[in-house]
Amino acid sequence: MPPTASRHHASLPVLAVLAALIGLFAYQAGAVRALAARPTAVGTVDLGKVFEKMNERAEWDASTKGMEESLTAELRKRQESAQAKKAQYDALPAGAERDALRESLAKDLLEDEVWFKFKRSQVDRERSLMWQSMYRNIRAEAALLAEAEGFDLLLVNDASNEIRSDTDPNASAEAQILQQITARRVLYSQPTIDLTDKLIIRINNARAAR
C-alpha cells in the first residue's frame, strides 16, 4: 500500500472522533439554547389587598376586638375604683387610717399596671398569631395558584403604593422617602400578570371549605 493511502486510512478514526465530538457539542449547545429559550413566567400579587380582603382577617379582627373591648371595660372599672379610693383618701384627715389607705391605693395601682401589661401582651400575641396564620395560608394558596396558572415565580408587587413623607411626624421627610424607595422591589409590572384577585378567591374558598 502506498504511504499516502496508509496515512489516509490512519486518519479516518481521528476524523470520526472529531465528528462525534462536534456533534456532541452541537447537541449540548442546542439543548442549552432550548433551555434558555423558555422564559420564566412571573406573576405579581398585591399583598396588602390580599390581607385586607381575606375572610380570615375579619374573623381574627372580631376575636381580637372582643379581647380589646373586654380589656378596655375592665380597665375602666379599675380606674374608677382607684379614683374613688383616691377621693376617699383626700377626704380623710392625717392619721393611721389615711396612711393605710395610701398604701392600699399604691398597691392597687401597681397591681393594675402589672395586670394591664399582661393583658396587652395577650392581645399582642393573639394579633401576632393572626398575621402568622394569614401569611402561612397566603403562601400555601399562592403555590397552588402558581402551579395551576403555570407561573414559575410570584412576586409581591409594591409598586402600586404611593411614597409618602407623612408616615412619621417625628422623622425627617427626606429619610422617610429614601427608606420607602430603598425598600421597594418592583418598579413596574404589567396589570395582566397580577394574580391578586384570583389569589383572594382561592384563599377565601379554601377557608370556607375548611
Kindly state whether residue 137 falls inside one of the protein's structural domains.
no
d(CA 114, CA 110): 6
Tell me, what's the pLDDT at 38? 76
Q: Which amino acid is at 134?
A: M
Tell me, what's the pLDDT at 161? 76
Number of helices (H), then strands (E), in the chain: 6, 2
CB 37 within 8 A of CB 149: no
> For residue range 119-160, what is the model confidence (pLDDT) as tens digits?
999 999 999 999 999 999 999 999 999 999 999 999 999 887
d(CA 100, CA 79): 19
Tell me, what's the pLDDT at 171? 84
Confidence of residue 210 (pLDDT cuts 50, 70, 90): confident
Kindly state whether residue 60 falls inside one of the protein's structural domains.
no
Q: What total of structural domains would you count in the chain?
A: 1
Segments forming the whole domain that contains residue 2 = 1-38
d(CA 17, CA 25): 12
Kindly state whether residue 10 falls inside one of the protein's structural domains.
yes
Q: In what helix (H) or strand (E) does residue 145 lie, and over which residues does it extend?
A: helix 96-149
> For residue range 80-122, what is the model confidence (pLDDT) as tens digits?
999 999 999 999 999 999 999 999 999 999 999 999 999 999 9
% of residues, the chain, pLDDT over 70: 82
Kindly state whether residue 67 falls inside one of the protein's structural domains.
no
Tell me, what's the pLDDT at 163? 85
Kindly state whether residue 31 falls inside one of the protein's structural domains.
yes
Kindly state whether residue 199 falls inside one of the protein's structural domains.
no
Kindly state whether residue 18 falls inside one of the protein's structural domains.
yes
